[in-house]
Amino acid sequence: DVKVTQSSRYLVKRTGEKVFLECVQDMDHENMFWYRQDPGLGLRLIYFSYDVKMKEKGDIPEGYSVSREKKERFSLILESASTNQTSMYLCASSPPTGPYEQYFGPGTRLTVT
Amino acid sequence: RKEVEQDPGPFNVPEGATVAFNCTYSNSASQSFFWYRQDCRKEPKLLMSVYSSGNEDGRFTAQLNRASQYISLLIRDSKLSDSATYLCAVIPADKLIFGTGTRLQVFP
């Protein structure tokens, strides 16, 4: 069974802190994605990666960076957290055929105070 | 214009009703289409892919209308457990673009 896990379900951080969100998948998928989901705005792509050490900017990369050192792990980094980064963060992976049929992790609800 | 648009709802329907949602997309070159289901405070899960010829999975039917650039999801004989938000997703190039979702509430 496909499984994507995220390091925390809930996280509270202070403005200016550096925040790491971890995502691990066990399906040997090449493709991994980070989204944020906000009411009325839906899912917005932050960054994605089609291979180890490879990353591509999504639609809203500002204020974020990512790391993909191993195939199964994709990390999202908030360099200096701000209150407008309070959101639900969802990681997803998909098989190598493309960004189809994405499998999502349970999400991390991040609050920045 | 948004790349993918959905009526946010909510659609409130009684058990046993038939309900349909539409999702419009702006890029005529889009090739792949999907419906995802998202329960409250949970992650989205793939419900079904949408093929050119349409496809059916039990009570759920998905259709694609390329001429008018929309996909639809029909749910027959609604169950209480169908209450959720339904997200459409489209691949216009190399990324999956999600709609903001349509909320369905099925009541007894």
- Residue in chain A closest to B100 (alpha carbons) equals A42
Residue of B103 and A40 predicted with greater confidence: B103
Residues in chain B: 108
Condensed to tens digits (0 to 9), the pLDDT of residues B11-69 reads: 999 999 999 999 999 998 888 899 999 999 899 999 998 988 889 999 999 999 999 99
How many angstroms separate the CA atoms of B1 and A11, rounded? 34
Beta bridge partners, B60, equal B57, B75
Between positions 13 and 32 of B, the ones with CB within 8 A of A are 32
Mutate to test the interface with A, among B30, B31, B96 (most CBs of A within 10 A): B96
Any CB–CB contact under 8 A between B47 and chain A? no
Any CB–CB contact under 8 A between A48 and chain B? yes
- What was the pLDDT predicted at A98? 60
Any CB–CB contact under 8 A between A60 and chain B? no
**Residue A17 in tokens:** 């802190």
Confidence of residue B94 (pLDDT cuts 50, 70, 90): confident
Coil, strand or helix at A84: helix
Exposure of A46 in the CB half-sphere (CA atoms within 13 A): 26
Condensed to tens digits (0 to 9), the pLDDT of residues A68-113 reads: 999 999 999 999 999 999 999 999 999 877 657 899 999 999 999 9
Residue B77 confidence (pLDDT) above 80 = yes
For the stretch B25-54, what's the b/e string if a residue is b when 16 or more beta carbons lie within 10 angstroms of its beta carbon? beeeebebbbbbbbeeeebbebbbebeeee
Condensed to tens digits (0 to 9), the pLDDT of residues A1-32 reads: 669 999 999 999 999 999 999 999 998 999 99
Q: Are B32 and B91 in contact (CB under 8 A)?
A: yes
Any CB–CB contact under 8 A between A102 and chain B? yes
Mutate to test the interface with A, among B3, B25, B95 (most CBs of A within 10 A): B95
Does residue A40 come out as left (phi exceeding 0), alpha (psi in the -120 to 50 range) or beta?
left
Q: Which of B45, B46, B98 sits opposite A43 (nearest CB)?
A: B98
Chain centre to alpha carbon of residue A35: 5
Residue type, B17: A
**Residue A93 in tokens:** 């992976």
Residue A91, C-beta contacts closer than 8 angstroms, at least 6 positions apart: A4, A6, A21, A23, A25, A32, A33, A34, A35, A74, A76, A104, A105
- Residue in chain A closest to B32 (alpha carbons) equals A100
Q: How far A15 CA sits from the closest chain B CA (Å)?
A: 25
Residue owning tokens 């999400």: A107
How many angstroms separate the CA atoms of B85 and B104, rounded? 6
